[in-house]
Amino acid sequence: PPGQPEVIGCRSYDKETVTCWWKSGSDGGLPTNYTVLYWTERTKTEQECPDYHSSGPYTCFFDKAHSSLWMYYFVYVKATNALGSNVSDIYRFEIGDIVQTYPPRNLTLFHESEKSSLPYLLVTWVPPKKADVKMGWITLQYEVRLKEEKKHVWEEHLVDHQTKLKVFSLTPGEDYVVQVRCKADSKHWSEWSEESYIKIPGGPRKRDMK
Amino acid sequence: PPGQPEVIGCRSYDKETVTCWWKSGSDGGLPTNYTVLYWTERTKTEQECPDYHSSGPYTCFFDKAHSSLWMYYFVYVKATNALGSNVSDIYRFEIGDIVQTYPPRNLTLFHESEKSSLPYLLVTWVPPKKADVKMGWITLQYEVRLKEEKKHVWEEHLVDHQTKLKVFSLTPGEDYVVQVRCKADSKHWSEWSEESYIKIPGGPRKRDMK
Amino acid sequence: PICPNGGTNCQVPTSALFDRAVKLSHYIHSLSSEMFNEFDERFTPGRRFLAKSGISCHTSSLNTPEDKEQARQIQHEDLLNLVLKVLRSWNDPLVHMVSEVQDIREAPDTILWKAVEVEEQTKRLLEGMERIIGRIQPGDSENEIYSPWPGPASIPGDENSRLFAFYNLLHCLRRDSHKIDNYLKLLKCRLIHEGIC
């Protein structure tokens, strides 16, 4: 019979819909059919995955109509071929546990040295797409990291709910790379945003360089 | 006859009682008598203001016994003197729509630079008097604003239900002024609290100052 | 499967159920207020809607607490069931509201989008309330009576009476959604935070 398939994990980008990923076991070269099945805390009867396609191959997508805020989901994969069938372990989740948003967007850097007694780097960003922050549905916490391009150690800063940060005392004349990520309802960090770069003005003039 | 009096407005500080303010029209120098009258959506019959004094002159106070949510009140003032009488326009309200609490109290500031990779200002406060937050009858949203004393632009932070806020990226060496206000059930903001001041430690060492 | 609470009967924590219910009720009420204010600004001037026979809500027969003292004295089971009844009473009117607003020529687009959103979120909140009640007082509240909606009280063909009926519905939705939001916040404090929020 086919090797044991596996539900790799499930994730909600917006605390409203859910995507699960799965993978097949060894199929011994035989044509094998895979079915994703689930039940919930309330409807004990088993149902088939409502949408195998929207999230790409080897996925199952639960849209708003099929996902609930109020109960646990139990998901597993069944592999069947001419020699028999095999089932994965059951993956259990409730939507609150699997919220992991997309990264924040529009990361912009601005070096301010006129308007302030102390020059600083102003880092700003906007919440990730699909994270309905205005309704308070998802509360986000942000973390910014930056380092000099040529160095390896990141400087990381947790900034609660703010969508901007002033960083003081950066080395004039150096190139910096900056990223930001966010955590929804203190569960899972998003991926880091794209990198942004800036050169901090000032620093030793070329002639002085030994 | 007397000039037309006016109901200026009505406000509930606690979502339980109501105060209305009114003013007289011109009385032509004649002794004029003012009566505040009201009816409600339920009790169609007109009644006189239950308490002209508790909230001060030219007011009408509806205590808990005379206040009920989710019901329209219709209030007007009648001025009468020897030459005749005149009535104000009718002021209509539901208590839920006129909730505007007192400002938050005990605003305290603490600059924290040890505990976290990035120094921050910890702002804390307590809910306004008369607002029964404990029982959940009123839920408050807060807004903190701060600025460098010498500047004009405020930086604002919305805070949901907590009574503290960490503010990052303040300019070392600068003096800041901070205020907080609150809103019940997303209706009307209270006035701003009293100002609090703090000097952020650090800043350019005297030697570097040009 | 082993559940976070160790057993095999996985359940979303009641505190999380209440958190989500309160966020939903707050959102539904703020949308309902916005819809009412937008409609009030657009259609009421000059129409003296309120001078008419006055406001009447199909849920007024439900004996809901009208002030803090009454709310404090009511048992939480009764208050939970009241919230459920009020929510159920709004199933049909919300369906009507969404179709009706599309026929009101000058209704701003924002009212339509909000009506659809309120209908959807109210269904979700109703599902949540059934979970919460099922958790707190297991017993069948399926066939609880609620306040059936008599349908739009407007005279066919009379535009003004139709607008007044819609105004009345929006007003009642704003009022009832505020009640639901209030009661849920009270219940959350009482049941989850032992009365000290």
pLDDT at C2: 65
The C-alpha atoms of residue B99 and residue B14 are separated, in whole angstroms, by: 7
Percent of chain A scored above 70 by pLDDT? 95
- Measured between beta carbons, which residues in chain A are less than 8 angstroms from residue B118? 157-159
Q: How confident is the model at residue C177 (pLDDT cuts 50, 70, 90)?
A: very high
pLDDT at C160: 82
The structure's pTM equals 0.89
Range ranked top by mean pLDDT from A164-168, B10-14, C11-15: B10-14
pLDDT digits (tens, 9 = 90+) for C40-84: 888 877 666 555 556 789 998 899 999 999 998 999 999 999 999
pLDDT at C185: 94
pLDDT at A183: 94
Check pLDDT > 50 for residue A179. yes
Rounded to 5 degrees, φ, ψ at A154 are: -85, 150
Q: Which of B115, B117, B118 is the best residue to mutate to test the A interface, defined by the most A CB atoms within 10 Å of its own CB?
A: B118
Q: How confident is the model at residue B188 (pLDDT cuts 50, 70, 90)?
A: very high
- Measured between beta carbons, which residues in chain C are less than 8 angstroms from residue A41? 10-12
- Measured between beta carbons, which residues in chain B are less than 8 angstroms from residue A118? 171-173, 203-204
Give me the residue from B71, B132, B137 closest to C66, CB to CB.
Answer: B71
Average pLDDT, chain B: 92
Q: Do A136 and B160 touch (CB under 8 A)?
A: yes
pLDDT digits (tens, 9 = 90+) for C25-34: 999 999 999 9
The residues in A 125-144 lying below 8 A from B, measured between CB atoms, are 136, 139
- Measured between beta carbons, which residues in chain C are less than 8 angstroms from residue A92? 1, 3, 10
Mean pLDDT in residue range A156-175 = 90
Name which of A99-103, B112-116, B194-198 the model is least confident about: B112-116
pLDDT at B204: 66
- Measured between beta carbons, which residues in chain C are less than 8 angstroms from residue A94? 10, 12, 16
Check pLDDT > 60 for residue A206. no
Q: Which of A114, A143, A160, A186 is the best residue to mutate to test the B interface, defined by the most B CB atoms within 10 Å of its own CB?
A: A160
pLDDT at B209: 40
Mean pLDDT in residue range C105-120 = 89
pLDDT at A98: 94
The DSSP H or E segment spanning A144 is: strand A140-148
The residues in C 1-30 lying below 8 A from A, measured between CB atoms, are 1, 3, 10-12, 16-17, 20, 23, 26-27
Name which of A42-56, B8-22, B43-57, B194-208 the model is least confident about: B194-208
Alpha-carbon gap: B37 to the closest alpha carbon of chain C (Å): 18
Give me the residue from C12, C20, C124 closest to A72, CB to CB.
Answer: C12
Rounded to 5 degrees, φ, ψ at C174 are: -60, -45
Check pLDDT > 90 for residue A129. no
ipTM, two decimals = 0.86
pLDDT digits (tens, 9 = 90+) for B70-103: 999 999 999 999 999 999 999 999 999 999 999 9
Mean pLDDT in residue range B150-156 = 93
- Measured between beta carbons, which residues in chain C are less than 8 angstroms from residue B69? 66-67, 178, 182
Q: Do B118 and A159 touch (CB under 8 A)?
A: yes
Number of A to B CB contacts under 8 A, please give it: 45
The residues in C 97-156 lying below 8 A from B, measured between CB atoms, are none
Check pLDDT > 70 for residue B207. no
Q: How confident is the model at residue C144 (pLDDT cuts 50, 70, 90)?
A: low
Q: Read off the amino acid at residue A163.
A: T
The closest of A72, A88, A129 to A105, measured between CA atoms, is: A129
Give me the count of residues in chain B: 210
pLDDT at B3: 94
Distances (CA, A) of B190 to B12, B63, B127: 11, 21, 11
Check pLDDT > 50 for residue B170. yes
Q: Read off the amino acid at residue C101.
A: V
Q: Do A135 and C23 touch (CB under 8 A)?
A: yes
Q: Do B171 and A136 touch (CB under 8 A)?
A: no
Q: Do A96 and C12 touch (CB under 8 A)?
A: yes
The C-alpha atoms of residue A194 and residue A190 are separated, in whole angstroms, by: 12
Q: Do B168 and A161 touch (CB under 8 A)?
A: no
Mean pLDDT in residue range C20-24 = 94
pLDDT digits (tens, 9 = 90+) for B44-79: 789 999 999 999 999 999 999 999 999 999 999 999
Average pLDDT, chain C: 86
pLDDT at B65: 93
Q: Which of C182, C191, C192, C193 is the best residue to mutate to test the B interface, defined by the most B CB atoms within 10 Å of its own CB?
A: C182
The closest of A26, A6, A7 to A83, measured between CA atoms, is: A26
pLDDT at A74: 95
Give me the residue from B69, B72, B94 closest to C67, CB to CB.
Answer: B69
Name which of B8-12, C5-9, C22-26, C78-82 the model is least confident about: C5-9
Distances (CA, A) of A172 to A109, A110, A196, B204, C78: 15, 14, 17, 15, 67
Residue C194 in tokens = 């032992």
Region of residue B186 (left: phi > 0; alpha: psi -120 to 50; beta: else): left
Q: Which residues contact A73 (CB under 8 A, 6 or more apart)?
A: A10, A18, A38, A39, A40, A41, A62, A67, A92, A93, A94
Check pLDDT > 70 for residue C154. no
pLDDT at A205: 60
Mean pLDDT in residue range A27-48 = 91
Rounded to 5 degrees, φ, ψ at B122 are: -95, 115
Give me the residue from C68, C178, C193 closest to B70, CB to CB.
Answer: C178
pLDDT at C47: 66
Strands in C40-185 per DSSP E:
none
Q: Do B92 and C196 touch (CB under 8 A)?
A: no
pLDDT at C87: 96
pLDDT at C163: 87
Closest residue in A to B172 (Cα) is A118
pLDDT at B210: 37
The closest of B194, B149, B137 to B173, measured between CA atoms, is: B149
Chains with ≥3 CB–CB distances under 8 Å to B:
A, C
Q: Which residues contact A41 (CB under 8 A, 6 or more apart)?
A: A71, A72, A73, C10, C11, C12
Order of strands, edge to edge, in the sheet holding A120-126?
A: A105-112, A120-126, A164-168
Question: What would the DSSP string read from start to end of B2-51?
Answer: PPP-EEEEEEBSSSS-EEEEEE----TTS--EEEEEEEESS--S-EE-S-
pLDDT at C51: 53
- Measured between beta carbons, which residues in chain C are less than 8 angstroms from residue A72? 3, 10-12
